[in-house]
Structure 1
């Protein structure tokens, strides 16, 4: 018989009766629940240690706290969450260069970097070898990373200098010649040279250039100098007033917006890109819009996204995608903005002719080759076929030329050449003129055919289709690797590649031997379609052309004795303000004991040429000049410049009185002896004693300066020191106040108290402006403050001064007032000086030295 056995349980404090059996399901459920809790605690242990601290000692590393990949994979997620909770930012490792240089990633990075700045087609080539700068909305090469300043001069003088000027903007205008003549007569003046409709230009055989001004504001408010070319006409009466002609205008990007605005205003043009729907035609417009969208969607589906991205990058100069068109319905004048639609390169130097002869080979037509756009064009138009043959014959005769300066000045030569990749040498080779054993035949120079300028580039369809049908470099390399059996031998597919139309524009260089070295700066300009910029660039480089950047544009202009941007143009004013801000900020970044005290040196404006104040000081009636002529301009009247030149040479005894008082004359100045000049050098009037002292120095062979400016007292020096001392005391007093506040709060606070921020940026900025005014006061309102700022009267400034290799001495391009030049020439005649001279002085120097000068007639 079963009896309940009593047992004593100490924890319960008495006897406990145990059951005779246990429920299996209930027991299993409780055990499973306990096992789950144990597993969860094992997986997620509750510990104050970090994940990397729970590892065995032999697995711990010092870098685990900030480098998650040092931990095993199963602990990395928990480690990242702990670091995120702790507020520590996650440090992402920069992808490796191998990953970044993958084609897809590289292309994506290129597209990202092109969002704010426009790239030229040669940008990647330049970015690896040149210092790049941001100018006019483009990313352009400034100068080579190597020391190539002297090498670039040698290339421009005797060899070949290559520059990419594709950032120049092209504007196309179409209309009757009579209407275009009337419009441009309001923007230019024949006193500065030939008009845009002169007979020598309207035939299309030569490129011309004119100075543009605001509507009816000549000679003030100059916009800049532009070059232009007319499309040749096959008709017999090409110069008829009723024929619709096409004109290309090439503008510097700095003046592009101002010139475009004036053209739209003068010709009363309206934009045609936006379509206005008339009332009652909504249904028809909607149907047409749907059809257009369907066509666009079909075309987009046929091309892959990757191909679209590659096309966008490789041929980003696709102007036909974003051409802005304007039109006047009354006069039928049309304007198309061909910005970034073509490439333009500049070759400077005597060997540029040899480089082009090697790099460009005219396309010869063969019957067994496939039909391309060139075959179709020549079959449809017999005039183009005869022009093509004459162009080939003329270019073959040019092989005997040693310099492009031997040809007709500013002539336009069109060629249909083979793909430039086919004429590239295996290694870089210097192109040299071919030595012919026979006597040089130069008869072709005198008898130039009239149809040399006919080019397919004037056709929009051909120009836009060239880029689409071009063989990409990657495809060309694959085809070459597949079909080329012998290296350097042409393949069959290369004979069938399409021709590339280019336009060559001759530049004569210096044409006045009495002013500069004859022929310096001659060369060619190349206009090529979009997409072929890089192949042409590499071909020219491989044939020995020296690459240059924006710095070389300035150096070549300086060697020619002129300036790229005159100070009265839009670009000149913008660049002058930019240089002033850069030099001024650089000056005030220096400590006070390292700055030049320009007050002691008697210099009013060391970083800018104050031409308006200079003209006001030299005016006969300064108040009227200030009221009527608030601006200045550079004299461009060829007749007045020729009269001034005759007066300088002593061939005329009367100085022209028709010269306006608010104008400046451009001079090329050359140092007579040793000495150097800096930018913004002063051009001063000498005295009689200076001429006498100069004669004594010449006899004794003395190279000392003619006169030395005495140091002036700086009246603001004591005031600056007092203000600086008071400013330091104020900052110390404010800091002491913040420290006292911190100590008071620390006494009653249980936590650490930090000192308050200074917040003295406004006080420092006001003090800095006050000190700048005391160092460099820029108020030129005081009468004769610029003219009589030093012991010698100032009548001009030289914004650009540098060592000239053509003159083998220091030279400068300066601008002087007519009244000051007249006084100088009068003094030189009184002192019986054969060659007129003036004094020049650098802003950082006190020494005056004599310089001779020449008047520039081709401003």
Structure 2
């Protein structure tokens, strides 16, 4: 008898006996089940990793998650399915860069991108080097990608700053001077300065500027400041200058262009003329001329579609299409819309004279060369040759000047120059002035001829023919490669290239030494035909001009003590609305703990200057105080501004009468000591204690603020907290309800259950708007305390404030109410303050500091 053997678990206190045989069918069934499971695991692996994450490290690429072709071929299908489940959209195949950079495809893409926003001729050059923004229907450069803020100021002060202002709209008017003057008298006022028919402007020697308003609405409803220039008279027409038809160009900002065009059509009673081409003659041609024109039209070949697209892209204008034309048959007044048909560049700085002298060389007439438009002009008109010679002589004399400020202010000089590509240096060179003039060489500045402003650019046919017959850069490069035997030397075909007519307009800059730095902002404006914009731009850049954008417009105006866009004009209102929306959206993108609580800082409107509400609070009319915010305007009356300046200086004891209560007075403010200002800073009235405290601080060399605003209570803080908690509870309750519904339906379903989305976007948006109103109550009903929003009375705002390099301190351009300024001057007189001062405060600070101010007469 055999005894039972102990097994491996006998030490645990028990014994297990193993069977002596195994049942084959049971073993086979279990093994088959295991094999099936292994096969399923191999075929359908369950992994929490993505396909491209399972690869070895040496095969992984960062672009695998975006481009399936980076993976091995056998894994691409699984990768695409995983990406589609993740909600990533399927990427379409993009053409290769080589295909997209073909000239035809590139041109087609450029034309497509110009449908929504208009491009300037220098757009591609700017797009590679500047931050581009969308403004007024254009795609314009804002600021350089490099750090060029200080460099642009140095260029505008000592060197040369170059800006493309071709987006300014040009409107051409034709008619008698008396008729045009009568129409513009309804759009402006003689209190703002010279009229459009002043003798200093009608001769065509100078460019003028005028403030335009709605028809009969002066001083309210301002459109903006416009520049204008008259076409000079020929020597034969000087006797009957009042009877003949004259041509007037008006340059206006693009934001005010639609309103001005509407007002001109209404004032002059113009009717649109349809189906009329650009090629317009001022006088009716004779029968022989009509026959010649017909022959020319038959002989000229029509342009191919590719050539038309190329010309359209090159000019960015309507020069080869139809332009808007209006006419009054009774008064024979015509209006031609030349918007986007002419280039205009602005050069600012003392070296602008040297840059233009090097880039613009007068065309020398060679009788042996082929006939161009300049030869034909000399043959048709005998006076044109003498005019060209006198203009060239005057420009050669100007080459010895060191600054444009030495010339006649706002003078107009027309030139027929060589193609700018011929005088371009091999590498960028800084143009420097020549030796200073001798006292005997200044005679040409005193005896300026009247024919210096005559130019063929006033003729629309010549402008269009210039653009059509110019040699495009690609053809010019091919001709240079074919004919240039010596690198850098001129070729024979370059001598036969047509001349380019340009018009130069001098800008005097600052003219009041006691207000701002003398001659700061002086320079030249260059008017050039369409098609030559890029050639002229590159020539000026290569001769040392510093390119600038829209930011430099505001910088130069701030350094001159003015503002580019006044708040009562169309451009100013559009800009204020845009800035308010952008700053407000940026403010609410921040988390609550990163936002400034302006209610505790006692700031009513941190992102805009509430001028209507400010004027309403300072008015003496009780009924107007209770009504809605009233309209305001900037004081532009030169006589009242002069009297006010004398009163501020102490030369006139009585405060001038006749200043309307709903106007604002522009001031240039300068910080007395330390302190920084930001946009939309408050201008407040000081108290007697503030003046005494300031004297003690000056004596003790104490740089602390004069007064610090105490923290106010935020009444909406608890409301915001409760609303936030209730909103979170509501969202959690809705989510829990949807989860319960999904679980309940999943119990009775064999497939995956999908329930409807939350649809809480409307509730979230309403909650956001409700919280925004609690953070920044900017409605008209809440702005009843603009004047008394803080401990010091607010009587003005400074929409723009920045550090000024000319003043070496922080400066700002502000607008104050007449009643508040009167109260400030009386307080300064009572406290024996020699120089009137006011308090200023940044919207993000509680500190008040003193600032002195100056009155701007040239608003």
* Aligned pairs for 1:644-723 within 5 A: 644-723=644-723
C-alpha separation between the residues in 1 aligned to 2:455 and 2:412? 10
Instruction: Quote the residue 2:611 is aligned against.
Output: 611
Larger CA deviation: 378-387 vs 531-540: 378-387
Larger CA deviation: 430-439 vs 130-139: 430-439
Instruction: Quote the residue 2:52 is aligned against.
Output: none
User: How does the TM-score come out when normalised to structure 1?
Assistant: 0.87
Q: Deviations over 1:218-258 (max 9, x none)?
A: 00000010000000111343674321110000011010001
SS of residue paired to 1:400: coil
- Structure 1 regions of 5+ residues with no counterpart? 1-47, 50-60, 276-291
Instruction: Quote the residue 1:855 is aligned against.
Output: 855
1:756 and 2:730 matched:
no
Instruction: Quote the residue 1:258 is aligned against.
Output: 259
Structure-2 change in CA distance of 1:65 and 1:477 (3 Å): closer
| 1:317–1:531 CA contact under 8 A, matched in 2 | no
| 2:391–2:413 CA contact under 8 A, matched in 1 | yes
C-alpha separation between the residues in 1 aligned to 2:852 and 2:529? 46
1:136 and 2:136 matched:
yes
Instruction: Quote the residue 2:633 is aligned against.
Output: 633
| 1:643–1:656 CA contact under 8 A, matched in 2 | yes
C-alpha separation between the residues in 1 aligned to 2:630 and 2:439? 62
How many angstroms does 1:105 deviate by?
Answer: 2.0
Q: Deviations over 1:429-450 (max 9, x none)?
A: 0000012696661110000111
Structure-2 change in CA distance of 1:396 and 1:65 (3 Å): closer
| 1:203–1:238 CA contact under 8 A, matched in 2 | no
Larger CA deviation: 648-657 vs 660-669: 648-657
Instruction: Quote the residue 2:328 is aligned against.
Output: 328
C-alpha separation between the residues in 2 aligned to 1:431 and 1:457? 27
Structure-2 change in CA distance of 1:293 and 1:573 (3 Å): farther
C-alpha separation between the residues in 2 aligned to 1:245 and 1:640? 34
Instruction: Quote the residue 1:27 is aligned against.
Output: none
How many angstroms does 1:780 deviate by?
Answer: 3.9
1:798 and 2:798 matched:
yes
SS of residue paired to 2:255: helix
User: How does the TM-score come out when normalised to structure 2?
Assistant: 0.87
Larger CA deviation: 382-391 vs 815-824: 382-391
Residues paired across the two proteins, number: 781
* Aligned pairs for 1:364-443 within 5 A: 364-435=364-435, 441-443=441-443
How many angstroms does 1:841 deviate by?
Answer: 0.2
> Could you say what the CA RMSD is over the residues aligned between the two structures, in angstroms?
2.9
SS of residue paired to 1:544: coil
Instruction: Quote the residue 2:198 is aligned against.
Output: 198
SS of residue paired to 1:527: strand
C-alpha separation between the residues in 2 aligned to 1:782 and 1:107? 54
SS of residue paired to 1:334: strand
| 2:612–2:629 CA contact under 8 A, matched in 1 | no
How many angstroms does 1:628 deviate by?
Answer: 10
1:304 and 2:311 matched:
no
SS of residue paired to 2:741: helix
SS of residue paired to 1:195: coil
SS of residue paired to 1:526: strand
Q: Deviations over 1:726-776 (max 9, x none)?
A: 111111111111111111111111111134311011111111111111111
How many angstroms does 1:725 deviate by?
Answer: 0.7
Structure-2 change in CA distance of 1:852 and 1:71 (3 Å): closer
| 1:780–1:786 CA contact under 8 A, matched in 2 | no
* Aligned pairs for 1:178-327 within 5 A: 178-234=178-234, 235-237=236-238, 240-274=241-275, 302-327=302-327
How many angstroms does 1:70 deviate by?
Answer: 9.4
C-alpha separation between the residues in 2 aligned to 1:142 and 1:783? 34
1:493 and 2:493 matched:
yes
Structure-2 change in CA distance of 1:578 and 1:438 (3 Å): closer
C-alpha separation between the residues in 2 aligned to 1:697 and 1:617? 33
Instruction: Quote the residue 1:18 is aligned against.
Output: none
Q: Deviations over 1:696-743 (max 9, x none)?
A: 110111110000000011111111111111111111111111111111
Larger CA deviation: 429-438 vs 131-140: 429-438
Instruction: Quote the residue 1:465 is aligned against.
Output: 465
C-alpha separation between the residues in 2 aligned to 1:690 and 1:713? 24
Structure-2 change in CA distance of 1:507 and 1:625 (3 Å): farther
C-alpha separation between the residues in 2 aligned to 1:303 and 1:254? 34
* Aligned pairs for 1:149-188 within 5 A: 149-188=149-188
C-alpha separation between the residues in 2 aligned to 1:710 and 1:67? 62
How many angstroms does 1:385 deviate by?
Answer: 1.5
Instruction: Quote the residue 1:103 is aligned against.
Output: 103
C-alpha separation between the residues in 2 aligned to 1:88 and 1:509? 57
Q: Deviations over 1:188-218 (max 9, x none)?
A: 0010000000010011110001010000000
Q: Deviations over 1:799-846 (max 9, x none)?
A: 000000000000000000000000000000111111000000000000
